[in-house]
Structure 1
Amino acid sequence: MGAGNWGSTAARARTETRAAMPVQTVFTARGVHPSMDPRGILFRESRDSAEHPTTRAVAWFLDVTRSMDRIPHALATRTLPDFADRVLSLFPHAQILFGAVGDGEDGDRAPWQIGQWESSDHLVDQWLTRIFLEGGGGPNGEESYDLALYFLARLARIDCLEKRGLKGYAFLTGDERPRKRVSARVVNQLLGRQELAADIPIEQIIAEAAEKFHLFYLIPDLRRAEDCASAWRGLIGEHAICMESPDDASLVGAELIGLTDGTYSGTLTEMKRRLTDQGVDKKVATRIYRAMLPYAMTIGAAEPTRDVSDVRDLPVARQSGIRRLAAS
């Protein structure tokens, strides 16, 4: 896996063809695709090659419960090419993996779906659109994000870290609280082997994942942030990103990578100006700015005389103690 190259023209043509398609037409799976079934998976790899000598692993794990189909639909019909183009301008040999999570303890048929790290536009898109948007989820306000975290911590093998000491990037999307533990029973059942002897506290698996990836949790809008932001902020600090629209996920993800990597010089205000200069609608650029401001403050990318003063104006659902994920 990982061969080939990203073709921006082909990727944009593909999404333009789908632009008016409803989600059910784009995502046709009615069960977990055999290639994304975790059963039997030992690990997934992002490896260097002659074609891609300095890979950088980027992973998306999409919540596919009933309230969360808008982000995968936006990626498949509009925003994936722009995300990839922006990331590849930072890391020319970036590899992208798509996976999905649901509810592993309340009856979902496909609570854990895992793709492969790929470089070519066709294969990245293939893994995205193979995802089964089950639309399940349980009634207790928690979903199985722990499964995505377990994959990142223990089933991912990435050369950017192993060879060059550079973390990958991982984005989880969702609107619920995480479970308090990785369930050994659920992991063993889904992998089809005796993987774990005991449950793992969520704090431990987050710490392990954060040793390998710059980890972010993207909440689709402020209304849903009221239900889960405080729980996530208690675990990962300002790496829990409260967006104002689910349509912003790909732009937020790309800008977080550039900001964290230090490739984008200057402050968040300059980022907003750059986005508008690139043709991003001013209102969208402002939403991106506001979503990223608490995190930018933790890494010194907010302008003290201007950006930080804007914290006063953030919606109530945003406010929290400014804290960075310790392992990042």
Structure 2
Amino acid sequence: MRSKGSWSDATYRSRVSEAEEKGAGRATFKGEERARQGEALDPLVDPSKYTDQNKRGSNTLLVPEGDEFVAPFGVAIPVQSDLDTTGSMGGNVDLAFKALPKVQNLLIQGENAVLKRYHTQIATGIVQDRVDQYPYLRTMFEPDNEVERQMGLLVPNRSGGDATEDYQLGLFMAVYLTKLSINDYGLKGYYFVVGDERGRDKLDARVLEQVFGSDVLERAFGSNPTKVLPSTSEIAGELVKNWYPFYLQVYDNPYATDWWAKLFGKDHVVKLPRTEDLAEVQAVIIGLTEGVLDLQNAVEFLGGSKSDRGKSSRIVEAVSGIPIGLQASYPNFNKIPLAGARFKGRDDIWPIGTSVSKKEKTRPLAEGKKSGKKGKDWKI
């Protein structure tokens, strides 16, 4: 794992220039070139490789120092964006790539960054169609310039399939094949889906094995895996235990809105004012959920000139229906270890000197239960 503060704008700009010069502006030109030459996927974006849940997960970095361990950047928190890259959505990775400096500023590095107290780790997935060569790919969780480097190894289809896309593959991986350190404290990560279509209601074992490997069911469900695969609705019910999921909808397709509202809840469906506003929309959603923003100061948080205030107001209005302050309502929100915390053992989650048992792990509350603080409930 790399340093929280080591994201370099100069390194990012050099990759932008390379994409413009060698890839005609396509951020994923390296991954696409590998595919054209018949090379295998880079294992960093191939979900069938590095299959250990810790390697594919978001984990707090602990550095040995004498007989103790130090968390130099605080507790890891994941932000995952699964991007539809079929048909008119084919350029979504390019848009996300262009937005990375804003993501760094609004989420991580800026003075008022909404996830500043965490070691924020970002992963990017691409959602395609089961008939495509690669129905689903995803990078590792990274905190620095590896984010954009690995984005460049993805292979978006950039063409159309049927009207239904295989979003359920990303949900499946997030639930059954990904481990999150933040869950040990009863808190959750952030999972975004960006697209314009509905997903499929059921899993297909053949497609699961194609994407995740022949042993996927054993890894997901144990040595005696279930004979009956969970439905997409059942997977979503598990997803909300460890993640805050949001569907960021491009275009106004009512059937897509309805499908995702039934899956995540209507207060977790946000219609993007513009796809180019992805970074701002995600930052405001996270800030509101963390309780570090409210609907009054979110416009000021986005900043910009007076002419930008209209755009900022539209963004805040678009996300105003989400549950506000939900993460902050959980008991351990203000107790998590911060940067520099010291631990007796590598497996400990609580620092030396805390009153909480070092082996105690607090799972996230079931949705709808109160933590003692007021907060809106989710309805699935």
| Partner SS for 1:173 | strand
Q: Paired residue for 2:276?
A: 247
Shift of 1:144: 0.6
- 2:28 aligned partner: 27
Larger mean CA deviation between 91-100 and 45-54 belongs to 45-54
8 Å CA contact retained: 1:173, 1:217: yes
- Flag the 1:187–1:19 CA change in 2: closer, same or farther, 3 A: closer
Residue 304 of structure 1 is matched in structure 2 by: none
Per-residue Cα deviation, 1:94-142 (whole angstroms, up to 9, x for no partner):
11111211112xx10011112111111x101112222212124422x21
* 1:69 CA drift (Å): 2.9
Counterpart CA distance in 2 for 1:20 and 1:282 is 31
Of the candidates 172, 181, 193, which is equivalent to residue 172 of structure 1? 193
Partner residue of 1:143?
Answer: 165
Query: Does the alignment pair 1:291 with 2:292?
Result: no
What code does the residue aligned with 2:26 have?
A: T
- 1:19 Cα deviation (Å)? 9.2
Q: 2:12, 2:148 within 8 Å by CA — same for their partners in 1?
A: no
Q: Secondary structure at the match of 2:89?
A: coil
Aligned residue among 40, 58, 67 for 1:46: 58
The 8 Å contact of residues 71 and 249 in structure 1, kept in 2 or not, is answered as no
Deviations 1:198-225 (A, max 9, x none): 3321111011111111111111233xx3
Q: Tell me the residue number matched to 1:314.
A: none
CA contact (8 A) 2:270 2:318 kept: yes
SS for the counterpart of 1:256 is helix
Q: In structure 1, what is the Cα distance between the partners aligned to 2:209 and 2:46?
A: 13
How far the C-alpha of 1:190 sits from its partner, in A, is: 2.1
Q: Which residue of 2 aligns with 1:109?
A: 133
* Aligned pair partner of 1:233 in 261, 273, 279: 261
2:262 aligned partner, one-letter code = G
The answer for the alignment partner of 2:248 in structure 1 is: 218
Amino acid at match of 2:125: G
DSSP 3-state at the match of 1:142: coil
Aligned match of 2:153: 130
Query: Offset at 1:56?
Result: 0.9
Q: Pick the structure with greater CA Rg.
A: 2
The one-letter code of the counterpart of 2:235 is I
> How far apart in 2 are the matches of 1:74 and 1:108?
22
Whichever residue aligns with residue 25 of structure 1, its letter is R
Residue type of the alignment partner of 1:206? A
Q: Residues 33, 205 of structure 1: CA spacing in aligned structure 2 closer, same or farther, 3 A cutoff?
A: same
Query: Gapped runs of 5+ residues in structure 2?
Result: 36-40, 62-70, 218-226, 327-375
The answer as to whether partners of 1:15 and 1:76 remain within 8 angstroms in 2 is no
Deviation string, structure 1 residues 149-198 (Cα, Å, up to 9, x no partner): 00111111111112x22101111111110100122221123222243333
Q: Residue 280 of structure 1: CA displacement?
A: 7.8
Aligned partners of 2:289 and 2:317: how far apart in 1? 16
Residue 179 of structure 2 aligns to a residue in which SS? Answer: strand
TM-score by length of 2: 0.70
Shift of 1:20: 6.5
Write the distance in 1 (CA, Å) between the matches of 2:141 and 2:159.
26
2:290 aligned with 1:261: yes
Query: How do 1:144-223 and structure 2 match up within 5 A?
Result: 144-162=166-184, 164-196=185-217, 197-222=227-252
Task: Give how far 1:250 is off.
Answer: 1.4
* TM-score normalised by length of structure 1: 0.80
Q: What's 1:81 paired with?
A: 101
Change in Cα spacing, 1:114 to 1:60, as seen in structure 2 (3 Å) is same
Q: Which moved more, 1:2-11 or 1:59-68?
A: 2-11
Indicate the residue corresponding to 1:119 in structure 2.
143
Work out whether residues 46 and 55 of structure 1, in 8 Å CA contact, stay in contact via their aligned partners in 2.
yes
**Structure 1 pair 15–243 and aligned structure 2 pair: CA distance change class (3 A):** farther
Shift of 1:39: 1.9
Percent pairwise identity:
26
8 A Cα contact 1:137 1:143, kept in partner: no
Aligned to 1:313: none
Amino acid of the residue matched to residue 134 of structure 1? N
Give the stretch that moved more between structures: 198-207 or 13-22: 13-22
* 2:42 matches 1:36: no
The answer for unaligned runs of 5 or more in structure 1 is: 300-322
Give the direction of change, closer, same or farther, for the CA distance of 1:82–1:11 in structure 2 (3 Å limit).
Answer: farther
Task: Find the aligned partners of 1:36 and 1:136 in 2 and give their Cα distance.
Answer: 20
Shift of 1:288: 0.6
Which residue is equivalent to 1:326? Answer: 379
Does the 8 A contact of 1:248 with 1:284 survive in 2?
A: no
Q: Secondary structure at the match of 2:270?
A: strand
